[in-house]
Amino acid sequence: MIFCVISRCSWPAATRALTLLLGLACFGAAQRVLAAEVTLDSLLQELTDFSAVARWPAPAYTTHQSSSYDRTEVAPDQPGWFANNDFSQYVREETHAGRTEKVMLDVAGPGAIVRFWLTTVQNKKGTLRIYLDGSAEPVLTFPAYDLLTGDLKLGAPLAQPHPGYSPNNNGGDTLMLPIPYAKHCKVTWEEAGEGPRYYQIDYRTYAPGTAVETFTPGILARARPLIEATGKRLLAPPDASGGRVISLNRVVPAGESTTLDLPAGPAAIRRLELALNAGATTLTDQQLRSVIIKIAFDGNETVWCPAPDFFGSGAGLNPLQSWYRTVTTDGRMICRWVMPYAKTARVTVSNLGPAAVAVALSAGTGPWHWDARSMYFHSTWHYDGDLQTPPVRDWEAIHLTGRGVYVGDTLSLFNYIPTWYGEGDEKIRVDGEALPSFLGTGMEDYYDYSFAPRGLMQTPFANQVRVDQRMTQGHNIMTRTRNLDGIPFSHSLDFVFELISWKPTRLIYAMTTYWYAFPGTTADVRPQPDAATRPVPTLAEAAAAAAPKHWPGAIECEKLRVHGKSGDFSVREQDMEPFDVTRWSGGAQLLGVPQGVGDFVELEVPVIAGETRDWQLYATQAPDYGKLRFFVDGRELPMEFDGYAPDVRPAPPLDLGAVTAATNVCILRVQVMGANPKVAGDKHLFGLDCLKLIKP
């Protein structure tokens, strides 16, 4: 059978498998593609085949995800797009033999589950079942919401517990053992306990007609030796053997570069190692980030990235042990991505920093059969140095146009406030689809752990290599690479993270992405040399920036003496730490909780008799704050203040006008006049930060 490429803009996700199969066809001339049978053994072999991701998949497949994402997330222009109840959401419920089973995945084959992540916070009682090919009996049963229980009897790394995992309560795990099926796959959960159930199931869908051997207990038993060998290989990745090793050792002055030209192709880089200032003065995080690695294949530059970010270390040199990359405690950075080229390849190291850097670079190359399925390796670095939350929004990591396979990323971020920043979900759209194929349940879930904040983590597939502070203030660096769960795209791929944090914060994102692609594929991320030379902040700087500060000339309202009030209601100092203390003078405010309209509080403001000052009031707005009027020494001021806002925020400064003091104390009355119609319930709270008395 001969296939040809069909051009399209946007087809439903269910048709993508056929499109990708057609895409295997003509690169100038149609040719036959012979699909090998997909088995548990073949998938395990593919899992540890460095070369597999460098060729367009055959047999062709698409990758998708079923998750517990909040079902009110429908479209960017619809309410609920940033809804965050990403738990205990299912495809449907159905009854089997009198028991209620909640369907987590229901998909036609041929296909394979290639990643199964789940977690919960309370007791895990219940039964998890996996049904294949329409069988009434499950092929796998787990007697708890826990993939470490039940029939598989696997351990790390193919069944990996998350940091903080407990068999009976908090925590979850990730299953990377592939589960192939010929016709159909259904995963269900029968609840017998309580608590939120989170899950992500990544699966391949092969083109119709692909021969797949369905997973069975007998096949599992037969594959046990290969499973054990695969686990050992994943934990101790072999270095490439044979071929040639080309190296250089050179001191690169500030502003200059050094280049390593590789043997003529067809060939492939199979190992790349870089050390900077080895055995000499330790480089700062800023000096390290100012060293750029650039790789060009067949005359086209496809890699531009700060060196530590490229190797998965992010800001600084942080030990890393994964399948594709290693960073050693003595600072050697190693990658095992296979990078094929037809004719030429060169690796360039540029020093954008202000001082010379000693560079030790080596590249191991080996033979490569260049064919119509061969793809070029790409890596880009996207830096965004001024992110704030709220508001919630989508942050675009990368947009790709063309054809290729997405295989991983490293997110090196800096968080100024000690608060969890990663409530947002990943959203990955493939080939222009409306609803993303991947709609996740939180940033830590994407990076294969759960219930952040957590500490360091090392697995072959996902790692957290730096956490400066327990509540995530400072640097946090996570990386994930995709062996069987790579994402093929025929026309485009869009990757965004939602920006949602527990408290308002400021963030710096530096995201490195990795993908393979055919010539002509482009990214919307361009080299950012200016960003690579920016100062890299420290935890101490974040702590200093996050500390509450008294604004010059501010009279703190929470420190003023209460002269009187209309009733027995609470007026007290409130710590604004949950809302970012840096936005309020002194990190606190005066909170009033009146009983209704007409209630007031009178505050004694210290002044100098006879002086005239322009009074400026700094107040707070919030969802349950009322409307206020102001009086000074019995004189009503002409303005009204509406305290409503959809979130807690400092209001713009309010000019109360000029006041001439008759004595050394003025009485400021704050009175509740009503509430905005948007305020829910009968609430009229108010918050006063500070006063400034400004000389005209």
Task: Give 549-599 pLDDT, tens digit per residue.
Answer: 999 999 999 999 999 999 989 999 999 988 888 899 999 999 999 999 999
Record the tokens describing residue 159, joined without a space.
């069944």
CA-to-CA distance for 486 and 507, rounded, in angstroms?
Answer: 28
CA-to-CA distance for 439 and 202, rounded, in angstroms?
Answer: 11
Task: Give pLDDT, residue 240.
Answer: 73
Q: How many residues does the chain have?
A: 696
CA-to-CA distance for 629 and 600, rounded, in angstroms?
Answer: 9
CA-to-CA distance for 578 and 581, rounded, in angstroms?
Answer: 7
Which residues in 55-196 belong to E strands, given as ranges? 61-67, 92-96, 99-108, 111-120, 125-132, 140-144, 159-161, 173-175, 179-181, 184-191
pLDDT at 82 over 50: yes
CB distance 434 to 75 below 8 Å: yes
Which of 471, 530, 450 has its CA nearest to residue 162? Answer: 450
Which of 632, 631, 636, 622 has its CA nearest to residue 675? Answer: 622
Domains of the chain from N-terminus onward: 36-235 (2.60.120.1390), 239-368 (2.60.120.1390), 554-694 (2.60.120.260)
Task: Give pLDDT, residue 278.
Answer: 78
Q: Average pLDDT over the chain, rounded to whole? A: 92
If you write DSSP's letter for every residue of 207-222 in order, what string do you get? Answer: PTT--BPPP-HHHHHH
Task: Give pLDDT, residue 23.
Answer: 41
Give tens-digit pLDDT for 185-198.
999 999 999 999 99
Give the mean pLDDT of 645-650: 93
Give the mean pLDDT of 413-429: 95
Which residues, 6+ apart, have CB-to-CB distance to 669 below 8 Å? 600, 601, 602, 603, 630, 631, 632, 634
561-565, strands of its sheet edge to edge: 561-565, 600-606, 665-674, 627-632, 635-642
Task: Give pLDDT, residue 239.
Answer: 84
State the residue for tokens 């003595």: 330
Task: Give pLDDT, residue 542.
Answer: 93
Give tens-digit pLDDT for 168-181.
888 899 999 999 99
CB distance 441 to 26 below 8 Å: no
Record the tokens describing residue 611, joined without a space.
């002086």
Determine phi and psi for 643, rounding to 5 degrees.
-85, 0
Residue 530, H or E segment:
helix 529-532
pLDDT at 298 over 50: yes
Residue 32, H or E segment:
none
CA-to-CA distance for 291 and 278, rounded, in angstroms?
Answer: 14
When comparing pLDDT for 280 and 344, which is higher?
A: 344
Task: Give pLDDT, residue 351.
Answer: 97
Give tens-digit pLDDT for 658-692.
999 999 999 999 999 999 999 877 788 999 999 99
CA-to-CA distance for 124 and 194, rounded, in angstroms?
Answer: 7
Record the tokens describing residue 243, joined without a space.
């071929």
Task: Give pLDDT, residue 36.
Answer: 54
Which of 353, 356, 362 has its CA nearest to residue 274? Answer: 362
Which of 528, 28, 137 has its CA nearest to residue 304? Answer: 528
pLDDT at 44 over 90: yes
Task: Give pLDDT, residue 176.
Answer: 98
Instruction: Work out the pLDDT band at 4, boundaries 50, 70, 90.
Output: very low
pLDDT at 18 over 50: no
Task: Give pLDDT, residue 580.
Answer: 84
When comparing pLDDT for 330 and 292, which is higher?
A: 292
pLDDT at 34 over 90: no
pLDDT at 279 over 80: no
Give tens-digit pLDDT for 454-468.
889 999 999 999 999
CA-to-CA distance for 664 and 361, rounded, in angstroms?
Answer: 73
Give the mean pLDDT of 275-284: 84
Q: What is the pTM of this model?
A: 0.86
The region, left, alpha or beta by phi > 0 then psi within -120 to 50, assigned to residue 243 is left
Return the half-sphere exposure (C-beta side, CA atoms, 13 A cut-off) of residue 633. 13
Task: Give pLDDT, residue 29.
Answer: 31
pLDDT at 431 over 80: yes
Which of 101, 66, 106 has its CA nearest to residue 86? Answer: 66
CA-to-CA distance for 603 and 561, rounded, in angstroms?
Answer: 6
Task: Give pLDDT, residue 241.
Answer: 65
Record the tokens describing residue 213, joined without a space.
């051997």
Give tens-digit pLDDT for 490-546.
999 999 999 999 998 999 999 999 999 999 999 999 999 999 999 999 999 999 988
Which of 71, 87, 129 has its CA nearest to residue 105? Answer: 129
Give the mean pLDDT of 90-104: 95
pLDDT at 334 over 50: yes
If you write DSSP's letter for every residue of 253-285 in order, what string do you get? Answer: -TT-EEEEEPPPSSEEEEEEEEEESTTSSPPPH
Measured CA to CA in angstroms, residue 489 lies from 251, 338, 348, 508, 647 at distances of 41, 19, 29, 29, 39
